[in-house]
């Protein structure tokens, strides 16, 4: 049977009542195919054309059968597909965390390049390695045709030119120019920068500049309504906004409604007919090109650390107002290290819409080709011609995954060798998954097929929700760490390890006899250490006075 999702999208159940049924006995070699029923609404010619297509497939299979057997090796593909890809850390205990087999017995993946633990360090390493290679490509907009629909909406059709590419080195120069330009405008470390624009070259350049400057990027979807935009701008209290020229009126409207923004940098519209007033007595408005001219292409030294917030990403807010997910440099670097999955839903939707816009014959032939391809794929066979076409057109192979904003998009990703369909694959190498029993639904890790509520852990899990500790406490739990810190056996084990480490290196009076384990990380934000991570002893003594007295009692 063909994939149900594709059949539903193609309107399988909405075809004409009168049916011309043809039983096709031809199946991809070496197994006979399933029956295919064709409902023909436009006469016997279409029926004959469909039969001719099936005959063509059969002849093709006869010709390529032996080459397939020699070079395609479907049995090897099946072995690769059916091999174990993940399992519980403790063998035989499905209640323990599940990991990808590559990291089952070692640490989770945390970085791509050795010694690069922030996005700025990772970017600089990419520039060093791939400096002269193409990095960002932008297509020139030749013309924009506008058509007014019956509904009153304006439909735009863009005529695009060729790609113009910038190398890694060239992009890095522009990144440094934006970073130094922001510094000249008075932006200081940890000042939040709002990015309210469509995806484009300037968006990525600005984000990289902010990562270098330790300026948290607050992303606001360009599709959000006025109310949601105002909510996001108000909550983060940012003074600088990057936006596109077409979205500039929304930002100015928010400012008139009381939002405190002092600087707006806008990306020029590709449409020369876009006309907006770029002056406001209460806010400084400059173009992105002017910002570049204020900066310098010289190397800009990174200021960020792994624990610093890189992005505050606002979700669409399916219930209530959007939530700002705080994502650190460490989170994103770990997610990249674990091979973050690509979202292909839009490609799928575009293909289905294109097919549905054609005739019944075209839809039936597409369904026949899809079903044949799926059947061959699941048996370990491939199509040399079709695979070449897909690889060139869509950069295949395409695999399915699972993740969410709170995990930087990371979660699970199907193996490229997996021939099964409808699976999201094993955990990425940067995360681990715990299946928690859900009695009401009958889900249990001990079921024949382990089931349960999916709990994701790892360095790619976000810090929490901005200005929303209640939601953070519900969705992101560090309870296990706190309970371990209060566990007497754990404290004794750590103390024993400390004694073993300092044995013979310290005087007897210098060796601690009692210790306190703190569940919170000591970062500059807590005030317990300096920016250089040196201890602030007086501050620590004052904050932990009660615990210190208890240790000495």
pLDDT (tens digit, 9 = 90+) per residue, 365-382?
787 777 777 676 666 665
With H, G, I as helix, E, B as strand and everything else as coil, classify residue 527. Answer: coil
Tokens describing residue 389: 């076409």
Closest C-alpha among 286, 282, 239 to residue 267: 286
Lowest mean pLDDT among 292-301, 335-344, 497-506: 335-344
pLDDT (tens digit, 9 = 90+) per residue, 98-133?
999 888 888 888 888 888 999 999 999 999 999 999
Closest C-alpha among 107, 122, 108 to residue 329: 122
Q: What is the pLDDT of residue 194?
A: 94
Cβ partners under 8 Å of residue 84, min gap 6: 101
Q: How sure is the predictor about 41, in pLDDT bands with cuts at 50, 70 and 90?
A: very low
| Domain parsing of the chain, residue ranges | 4-79+348-394, 119-304, 480-552
Over range 204-213, report the average pLDDT.
Answer: 96
pLDDT (tens digit, 9 = 90+) per residue, 125-160?
999 999 999 999 998 888 888 888 777 777 778 888
Ordered DSSP codes for 304-360: --TTSEEEEEEP--SSSS--EEEEEHHHHHHHHHT-PPPP-HHHHHHHHHHHHTS-H
- Comparing 20 with 470, the larger pLDDT belongs to 470
Tell me the CA distances in angstroms from 89 to 177, 365, 429, one per residue in order.
47, 47, 13
Over range 312-325, report the average pLDDT.
Answer: 74
Q: What percent of the chain has pLDDT above 90?
A: 28
Q: How sure is the predictor about 475, in pLDDT bands with cuts at 50, 70 and 90?
A: low
Token pair 């369909």 is at which residue? 421
Ordered DSSP codes for 24-41: ----STTSPPPP-----S
Residue 21 has φ and ψ, to the nearest 5°, of: -95, 130
Average pLDDT in the chain: 79
Distance of alpha carbon 194 from alpha carbon 235, whole angstroms? 11
Tokens describing residue 58: 């059969």
For residue 344, pLDDT over 50 is answered with no
Q: How sure is the predictor about 20, in pLDDT bands with cuts at 50, 70 and 90?
A: very low
CATH of domain 119-304: 3.40.50.980
Closest C-alpha among 425, 454, 362, 358 to residue 102: 425
Cis, bond preceding 551 (omega within 30 deg of 0): no
With H, G, I as helix, E, B as strand and everything else as coil, classify residue 265. Answer: strand
For residue 321, pLDDT over 80 is answered with no
With H, G, I as helix, E, B as strand and everything else as coil, classify residue 331. Answer: helix
CA 163 to chain centre: 25
- From first CA to last CA, the distance across the chain in angstroms is 74
Distance of alpha carbon 435 from alpha carbon 453, whole angstroms? 5
Over range 227-238, report the average pLDDT.
Answer: 84
Closest C-alpha among 191, 238, 220, 213 to residue 119: 213
For residue 249, pLDDT over 50 is answered with yes
> Which range has highest mean pLDDT (38-42, 148-152, 186-190, 359-363)?
186-190
Lowest mean pLDDT among 77-81, 347-351, 356-360: 347-351
**Torsion 502-503-504-510 (CA) sign:** positive
């Amino acid at each position: 049977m063909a994939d149900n999702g594709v059949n539903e999208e193609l309107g399988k159940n909405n075809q004409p009542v009168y049916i011309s049924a043809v039983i096709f006995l031809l199946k991809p070699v070496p197994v006979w195919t399933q029956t295919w029923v064709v409902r023909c609404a436009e006469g016997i010619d279409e029926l004959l054309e469909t039969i001719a297509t099936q005959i063509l497939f059969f002849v093709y299979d006869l010709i390529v059968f032996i080459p397939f057997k020699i070079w395609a090796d479907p049995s090897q593909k099946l072995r690769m597909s059916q091999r174990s890809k993940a399992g519980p850390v403790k063998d035989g205990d499905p209640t323990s965390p599940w990991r990808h087999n590559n990291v089952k017995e070692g640490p989770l993946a945390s970085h791509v390049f050795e010694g690069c633990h922030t996005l700025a360090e990772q970017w600089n390493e990419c520039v060093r390695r791939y400096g002269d290679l193409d990095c960002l490509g932008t297509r020139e907009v030749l013309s924009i045709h506008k058509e007014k629909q019956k509904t009153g909406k304006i439909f735009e059709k863009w005529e695009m030119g060729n790609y113009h590419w910038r190398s890694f080195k060239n992009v890095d120069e522009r990144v440094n120019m934006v970073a130094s330009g922001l510094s000249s405008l008075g932006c200081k470390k940890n000042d939040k920068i709002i990015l309210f624009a469509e995806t484009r070259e300037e968006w990525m350049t600005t984000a990289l500049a902010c990562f270098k400057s330790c300026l948290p990027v607050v992303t606001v979807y360009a599709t959000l309504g006025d109310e949601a935009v105002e909510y996001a701008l108000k909550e983060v209290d940012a003074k600088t906004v990057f936006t596109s020229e077409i979205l500039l009126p929304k930002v100015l409207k928010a400012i008139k409604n009381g939002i405190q923004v002092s600087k707006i940098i806008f990306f020029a519209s590709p449409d020369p007919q876009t006309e907006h007033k770029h002056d406001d007595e209460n806010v400084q408005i400059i173009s992105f090109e002017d910002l570049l001219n204020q900066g310098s292409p010289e190397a800009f030294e990174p200021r960020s650390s792994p624990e610093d917030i890189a992005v505050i990403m606002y979700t669409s807010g399916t219930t209530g107002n959007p939530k700002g997910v705080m994502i650190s440099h460490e989170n994103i670097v770990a997610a990249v290290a674990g091979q973050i999955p690509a979202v292909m839903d839009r490609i799928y939707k575009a293909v289905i819409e294109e097919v549905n816009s054609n005739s019944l014959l075209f839809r039936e032939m597409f369904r026949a080709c899809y079903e044949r391809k799926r059947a061959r794929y699941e048996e370990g066979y491939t199509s040399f011609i079709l695979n070449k076409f897909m690889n060139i057109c869509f950069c295949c192979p395409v695999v399915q995954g699972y993740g969410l904003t709170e995990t930087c998009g990371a979660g699970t990703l199907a193996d490229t060798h997996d021939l099964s369909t409808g699976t999201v694959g094993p955990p990425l190498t940067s995360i681990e998954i715990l299946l928690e029993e859900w009695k009401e639904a009958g889900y249990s890790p001990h079921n024949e097929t382990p089931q349960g509520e999916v709990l994701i852990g790892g360095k790619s899990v976000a810090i929490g929700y901005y200005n929303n500790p209640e939601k953070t406490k519900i969705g992101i739990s560090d309870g296990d760490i706190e309970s371990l810190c209060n566990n007497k056996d754990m404290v004794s084990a750590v103390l024993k390890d400390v004694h073993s480490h300092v044995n013979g290196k310290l005087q007897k009076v210098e060796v601690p006899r009692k210790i306190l384990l703190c569940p919170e990380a000591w970062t500059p934000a807590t005030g317990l250490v300096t920016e250089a991570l040196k201890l602030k002893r007086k501050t620590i003594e004052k904050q932990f006075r009660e615990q210190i007295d208890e240790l000495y009692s």
